[in-house]
Structure formats: structure tokens, C-alpha cells
Amino acid sequence: MTVTFLLKCALAYGIPLVCLLMFIRELIVSYFVRAKFESSVGSVLKTISEKVGRIESIIDHSVDRIETDIPKSSEIARLVTSNRAKLIASRAYVLRFHDGSAFSTNAPVWKVSLTHESTDSAIVSIAEKTKDILIANVIQIVAPVFDKNDIADGIRMLNADSDSTHGVFRVDTDSVTTTATRGFLLSRGIKHMLYAPIVSLDGKPVALFCVDYAAEMPEFLTDEYAAKELLDAASILSSLMS
């Protein structure tokens, strides 16, 4: 559509020139605005897509690297399985912290991913649905391992005299108040959870060793016994994963 063509139409149909000029102005403005917008959005979307692809690739590589490190992975798997059986749990697993690009002990903790799991024969695995979980979705669970005073409703420390990095914590889903954390637990059929931090050589939490229960916990499982078993397992896992 050219300006000459528009002028001919205006003359033929008696359209006031001022109206025609206003129409042409709107066409020109909308064209440049749209072109600029499409260029800007396209550039942003491309950048985001590239970043997401790169980050996901690194995360996948990191998970695979850990799980295919046969000597360590086999030992971790055996330990996770033996502790699930010992504590008569529905599941036992390792939730590892990472910063969105690679497993890390120094970068800010942004996400958690399940790297090793053992389940009772009657229980569904949560491995596939527990990858790259935002810390915000499990904040009530994660917070106490960095500061034992940051314990919210539904969670208690079994060995209150210990520091946070040597703490063992119990979660009772029905009492959890944070919507996201409660949703995380309920969507995985977790009624109770016990966990202890796995720490790096410099004492920083890098993961959690967890056991959970789809129903009530066994009566024999006292706080003292649970704390000892989880601390022992977490200590060995700290050595294997450092």
C-alpha cells in the first residue's frame, strides 16, 4: 500500500486530506513500533531460550556424572537402601543442592535434585518428579540445616543440642504451614520425613539424606535411635560425596 494509492483513493471518494494524513501517520508509527517490539521480544526470547538450554544441559550432565561414577554411586546406593530397610521407611534418598547450572558447595543454593533413591516395593518412586526443584518450594525443609533456629511449624530437631549441620530433623506434613512445602510433601505421598544434612569437607551443607513414610512411623523409631542412624549415614555420605 503506497502513499500515492492512498491519495488517489482519498480524491476519488472525497476523503478529507487531514484524515488521510492522520491515517498514514498511524500506519507509519504502528509499523516502526511493531518492528521494534518484535525485534526486542525476539532477542529476549532467544537469549532466555539459549540460557535455559545451556543450564539444563549442564544440570543433566552433572546429574549423569554423579550417577555414573560407578564406585561412589554404587556405595551411595547401597547405603541409601540399607538405611531405608533399617528404618523401615517407604523411601530413602539423597536431595542434592545446586545453583541451577552445576552441583556446587560454594554458589548460592537455588534448587534441589534427587540423585539416589531406594523405595519399598509398594511405594511409587519420586525420582523423576524431584529434579530441579526450586528452593522456595521446600524452604521449610532446607532452612533449618543452615540455621537450626529457623524451624517453622511442622518441623522439629530431634537432637536439639547439636549444631544445624549435625542436626536431624523430622517433618510432619499435616502440621506444615508453608503452602509450597506442604504441596511438595503431599504430592509425593509423604506423611512424615526424617532428614540430616550431608556436608562438604569445609562443613557446608551440600545435600540432604532423607527417609520418608507414607503412613505412620514405626513405634520403635525413637528420636534418639533415628537421630543416630541418620547422622551415621549422613557422615558416610559426606565422605563419599566430598
Query: What is d(CA 54, CA 97) in angstroms, rounded to the nearest whole number?
Result: 19
**pLDDT band at residue 5 using 50, 70 and 90 as cut-offs:** low
**pLDDT band at residue 8 using 50, 70 and 90 as cut-offs:** low
Beta carbons of 79 and 234 less than 8 angstroms apart? no
Q: pLDDT digits over 30-40, tens only?
A: 555 455 544 54
Mean pLDDT value across residues 123-149? 90
Q: pLDDT digits over 186-241, tens only?
A: 999 999 999 999 998 888 888 999 999 999 999 889 999 999 999 999 999 999 88
- Give the phi and the psi of residue 96 in degrees, each rounded to 5: -105, 135
Query: What is d(CA 145, CA 138) in angstroms, rounded to the nearest whole number?
Result: 12
Which residue bears the cell 536431624? 168
**pLDDT band at residue 178 using 50, 70 and 90 as cut-offs:** confident
Residue 91 is classified by DSSP as E
Instruction: Name the least confident of 2-11, 85-94, 112-121.
Output: 2-11
C-alpha cell at 102: 552445576
Three-state DSSP class for residue 72 = helix
Beta carbons of 93 and 112 less than 8 angstroms apart? no
pLDDT of residue 177: 87
User: What does the domain layout of the chain look like in residue ranges?
Assistant: 3-57, 69-241
- Give the phi and the psi of residue 128 in degrees, each rounded to 5: -70, -35
pLDDT of residue 220: 87
Beta carbons of 10 and 20 less than 8 angstroms apart? yes
Indicate the CATH number of 69-241 among 1.10.600.10, 3.30.450.40, 3.40.50.300, 3.40.50.1110.
3.30.450.40
Mean pLDDT value across residues 161-172? 92
Report angle CA 178, 231, 90 to the nearest 5 degrees.
60
56 or 94, greater pLDDT: 94
Residue 104 is classified by DSSP as -
**pLDDT band at residue 56 using 50, 70 and 90 as cut-offs:** very low
pLDDT of residue 39: 54
Residue 108 has pLDDT above 60, yes or no: no
pLDDT of residue 42: 53
**Chain centre distance of CA 94:** 13
Beta carbons of 115 and 67 less than 8 angstroms apart? yes
pLDDT of residue 194: 97
CB-CB neighbours of 226 under 10 Å: 21
pLDDT of residue 33: 47
C-alpha cell at 221: 523409631
The chain-wide mean pLDDT, for the chain, equals 78
Report angle CA 41, 46, 52 to the nearest 5 degrees.
125
Percent of the chain topping pLDDT 90: 44
Contacts by 60-66 with C-beta closer than 8 Å and gap 24+? 62/98, 62/102, 62/103, 63/113, 63/115, 63/131, 66/96, 66/103, 66/115
- Give the phi and the psi of residue 188 in degrees, each rounded to 5: -110, 10
Instruction: Name the least confident of 93-107, 155-169, 220-234.
Output: 93-107
Whole-angstrom CA distances from 205 to 26, 133, 136, 200 are 60, 17, 17, 6
